[in-house]
Amino acid sequence: MIDITQNPVSTATPKVRFSPRRVWTLAMATVTQLIRMKILAFLVLFCLLAAGAGFAFSVINPEQQLNLLKSVTLGALQIFSIVIGVVSTALLLPKDLEDRTLYTILSKPVPRFDYLLGKLLGVLLLIGGGLIVMDVVLSLVLWLRQTMLLDSYVASLRLENMDSPEALAQVREIVAKQGLTWNLHWAVWAIFLKAAVVTTVALLLSSIASSTLFTIVITFCVTIIGHGESLIREFFFRPYLSSLAGRSAAFVLAALCPDLAQFDIVDSVVNGETVPWGAIYDMTGIAALYMTVYLFVTHLLFVEKEL
C-alpha cells in the first residue's frame, strides 16, 4: 500500500518571479498604446512654441532675449511633461479595465507588481523620449538665436565705433553665459525627475480610484500643493513644530505631497547660474526615494484590489 502522506501532491499555485524582460515588454506595449492615443500631440505643440518663441521677442538686449526664450520654453516643457504624465497614467488602468486587457495580462500569469512597473516605465519612456526631442529642438533654436544675436550686436557696435576688445569680450561672455550650456540639459533632467514623481503619484491614485477625472484632478492638486509645500510649512506649521501635533501634521503633509520645489532649478538656469553636481545628485536621489515609496504603496493597494 502507498502511503500518500509521504508524498503529498501540492495544489498551491507556483509563485511567479519578477521578470525584467516581462516588465520591458509591458513598457513597450504601453508606449505603443499611448502613441495610438495621440498623447504625443503635446510634443508637436512644444516644437511649434519653441520655434516661434525663438524669434518672437523684439528686445534690444541680447541677454533679455535669451532669458525670455529659455524661460518660456522651459516653462512650457514643465507643463507639457506633467500633463502628459498625469493624463497618460490616469487613462491607462481604466482603459485596460474597459478593454479587459488587464484580465488577459494578469491571467498569463503576470504579477501585479510587474504590471504596475511596466505601465509606469512605459509612461516614463514616453516622457523621457519626448523630453529628449524637446531638448534637441530647444538647443538648436537657442544656438541659432544666440549666434544671430551675437553677430547683430557685434555689427551694431562696429557701426558705432564701440567695438573695443573689452566691449566685444563682454558681449561674448554675456551671450555665452545666457546661451546654450550644459545647465540647460540639467534643467531638462530636473523637469523629467519632477514629472516622474508626479506620474508615480498619478499611478497611486489611479490604482485606488474608479474615475479618471478624479485621478487627474487630485494629482494636479497634489502637484500644486507640492510646489508650495515649503511655504505651507513656513507659514502654517512652523509656529507649531515644537508640539507633537505640529510635527505630525508636517510629516503627514510631506508623506502625502512630494516637495516638488526641490526640483526647481529652471530659474537658476534661465539666469545663467551654474548648477552644481551636488544638486543634481540630490535631486536624483530624492526623486528615486519618492518613486520607490509611492510605487511600493501602489503595489500594496493594487494587490488587495478586486478586479
Question: First vs last Cα of the chain: how many Å apart?
Answer: 46
SS (H, E, C) 165-186: HHHHHHHHHHHHHHCCCHHHHH
Based on its alpha-carbon atoms, the radius of gyration of the chain, rounded to whole angstroms, reads 25
Q: Which three cell numbers stand for residue 230?
A: 515649503
**Rounded Cα gap, residues 87 and 123, in angstroms:** 10
CB atoms within 10 A of CB 202: 30
Q: Give the residues of the chain that fall short of pLDDT 50.
A: 1-13
- Cα 271 from chain centroid (whole Å): 22
SS (H, E, C) 134-156: HHHHHHHHHHHHHHHHHHHHHHH
**Rounded Cα gap, residues 228 and 259, in angstroms:** 8
Q: Which three cell numbers stand for residue 168?
A: 566685444
**Rounded Cα gap, residues 78 and 162, in angstroms:** 41
Phi-psi region of 13 (alpha: psi -120 to 50; beta: other; left: phi over 0): beta
Given this model, what pLDDT does residue 11 score? 38
- Cβ atoms of 47 and 130 within 8 Å: the answer is no
Given this model, what pLDDT does residue 48 score? 67
Given this model, what pLDDT does residue 112 score? 82
Given this model, what pLDDT does residue 190 score? 92
The model's pTM: 0.81
The DSSP symbol for 30 reads H
SS (H, E, C) 71-129: HHHHHHHHHHHHHHHHHHHHHHHHHHHHCCHHHHHHCCCCCHHHHHHHHHHHHHHHHHH
Phi-psi region of 161 (alpha: psi -120 to 50; beta: other; left: phi over 0): left
Q: CA 244, 247, 249, 253: dihedral to nearest 10 degrees?
A: -160
